[in-house]
Amino acid sequence: MLSMPLDVIGLIFAILDPRDLLSLARTSKGLRAILMTKSNKWYWVYALTHVEGLPQCPPFLNEPSYASLVFSKYCHNCLKRAPLVDRVFIIFSARYCKECENERLVTQEHEQFQLLLGEIEDVVSERPKFTSYGYPARYHLPELVAFSKSWNARAGNAEAQTQLVRDFAASVKSRNQFAKLFRVWALRKKQARNKELRDEREAKKNAIIERLRTLGWGDELDQMDSSSRDRSLGREPLFKKRGPLTDRVVWANMQDEAVAWIELQRDKRLRRLRDKVMDPRFRLCERFLQIWAADYWPIDEYDDLPIPSTALQFRDYLLMPEIRSVLDVPDNVAVTWEVFREKLGPLLPGLVREWIESCKEELRAKLEVVFSSFQEGVDPMRLVTTAQLAARGHAKPMSVILWHGRLSLWEAIADPPSPDWKARVQWDTERIMVNPGISPLKARALIEACEMDADSATPEASPRMSPGLSEISRAVSRQAVKLKMVSAGITAADFRAAGMDISQGTTRVH
């Protein structure tokens, strides 16, 4: 290109925009020498005047520097990419990335600023003005350093230092005036870019919808609300891909994603329609089960270990296939109170008994693993040492599912939620552990202090001590009594005394 006549080169440069001139100036030393010569600055002036709305080059910058500041895409400090016009701090003649902005823009509390301000006020009566950005005001650290050097160079010459402050104030005024003009242009440029992106997204959205109609999804698209459809499509990764929607490349690559999206929207719509049908069925079923449990709960068969009707929650009922089969029928099939009474009434006693026994078996297996010293033939669920268990994990929701006399027993929570309607919490022995508030060691110590066998003691084993066991459990669980083990010199008599005190409603720390 350098071998071409200069008038031809000039004609080429005259049709380039500032970004093109910057790229050419960085291509070779020869081109840089041509473009950076003062006599050729008209190339830059001509290019800058062709940028719509851009203010003319300010007096505190030359044309190449102005073009580099506005149209370059790199941070002036670290050379990282900072392409947005918001990264241009025209008042400081700098473009910074976010990290360098935080590093090089300082507040009045900065040590350099306070030191410089103190030195100036000792010499000059009028307060100096520096260029600032934002609120609260932030100042350009390189500018403060440059001013400090100029100030120190005039040390001992009060008149020269006063003139420096006044000249700097005039420069700040000029920069502020130009910054207002530049911000107006930057805002319009940003608005134009946003409009361009909106138009591009709108065109791409319409193109995707049109191609889905071609694939036979027209009826589904017509049933969707246009605003919710657009919001949903706008969140999809396929919609965020830049560039026009071409058939041979872009659409061929995103067609599967677009079909998957419309299928998902169809499934959601069908689920909403299904929920409108199922919600009344669930509410009616829940009411039926509450009334049935109040009248027919099989409590007589479990007098030795009474189970309240509230133990079996509606969410646990919904996990039973027999109940789900009554609810999960086509939309046009009526599900009424008579249907529940005829189909579920005869089955519920057996289902409840089966559920209770399965829960007990799971608990027995759990307890036999945790407590290995049970006597053979002893039901671990009946022991006082296993009387208080709790669930680990979240505190809510929580459902009590078994009862053990006056002692609290087993609680369960569910995590993560089940996708089944209102089946978000159900019985789960995997969530059960020994409550840290009453460890097996403490429980055994208390029971043995009451002259009972910890491996076989039940609340009914000693009528005299049974009423006190619940008080002992509650006192230990809230750590009102700090038990010390036999290794610390505590005797059985001390434990017995502690147990009697607790049973009488008082606490005593040994």
* pLDDT score at 380: 65
Q: How many Å apart are CA 333 and CA 282, to the nearest integer? A: 14
Task: Name the pLDDT band for 217 (thresholds 50, 70, 90).
Answer: very high
* Same-domain pairing of 410 and 493: no
> Rounded mean pLDDT of the chain?
74
* Position 114 in a domain: no
Query: What integer pLDDT is reported at residue 470 of this predicted model?
Result: 47
Q: Domain ends where: 72, 102, 123?
A: 72
More confident residue, 480 or 318: 318
Lowest average pLDDT, out of 163-167, 309-313, 345-349, goes to 309-313
Q: Out of 435, 468, 499, pick the residue that ends a domain.
A: 435
Same domain? For 467 and 349 the reply is: no
pLDDT at 475: 43
pLDDT of residue 494: 45
Q: Residue 409 falls within a domain, yes or no? A: yes
Instruction: Identify whether the C-beta of residue 444 lies closer than 8 Å to the C-beta of residue 433.
Output: no
Q: pLDDT digit string (tens) for 455-473?
A: 676 655 544 444 444 444 4
Q: Are residues 363 and 442 in the same domain?
A: no
- Please report whether residue 255 resides in a domain: no
Question: Which pLDDT belongs to residue 261?
Answer: 92
Regarding whether 444 and 429 lie in a shared domain, the answer is no
The C-alpha angle 210, 192, 58, rounded to 5 degrees, equals 160
Take residue 485 and report the two structure tokens written for it.
């083990």
pLDDT of res. 416: 32
SS3 of residue 95 by DSSP? strand
What proportion of the chain, given as a percentage, has pLDDT over 90?
Answer: 20
Q: Is residue 202 part of a domain?
A: no
Asked whether residue 133 is assigned to any structural domain, the reply reads no
What Å distances lie between residue 138 and 89, 101, 109, 177, CA to CA? 12, 10, 10, 18
374 in any annotated domain? yes
Same domain, 431 and 482: no
Do residues 333 and 383 share a domain?
yes
pLDDT band at 99 (very low <50, low <70, confident <90, very high): very high
Do 302 and 427 belong to one domain? yes
Residues 340 and 398 grouped into a single domain: yes
With a pLDDT cut of 70, the percent of the chain lying above it is 68
Q: Is the pLDDT of residue 288 over 90?
A: yes
Q: What is the pLDDT of residues 294-318, one digit of tens each?
A: 888 765 554 454 566 766 778 778 8
Local confidence band at 186 (pLDDT 50, 70, 90 cut-offs): very high
Say if residue 315 is in the same domain as residue 429.
yes
Better pLDDT: 496 or 47:
47
Retrieve residue 379's tokens.
Answer: 């039901």
Within a domain: residue 339? yes
Residue 510 forms part of a structural domain: yes
Across 83-191, the runs of DSSP E, i.e. the strands, are 88-89, 94-95, 105-106, 132-133, 138-140
Residues 450 and 471 in one domain: yes
How many structural domains comprise the chain?
Answer: 3
Same domain, 15 and 3: yes
Average pLDDT for 395-420: 30
Q: What is the pLDDT of residue 75?
A: 92
Which residues span the domain enclosing 306? Answer: 297-435
Residues 303 and 423 in one domain: yes
Which one of 389, 417, 435 terminates a domain? Answer: 435
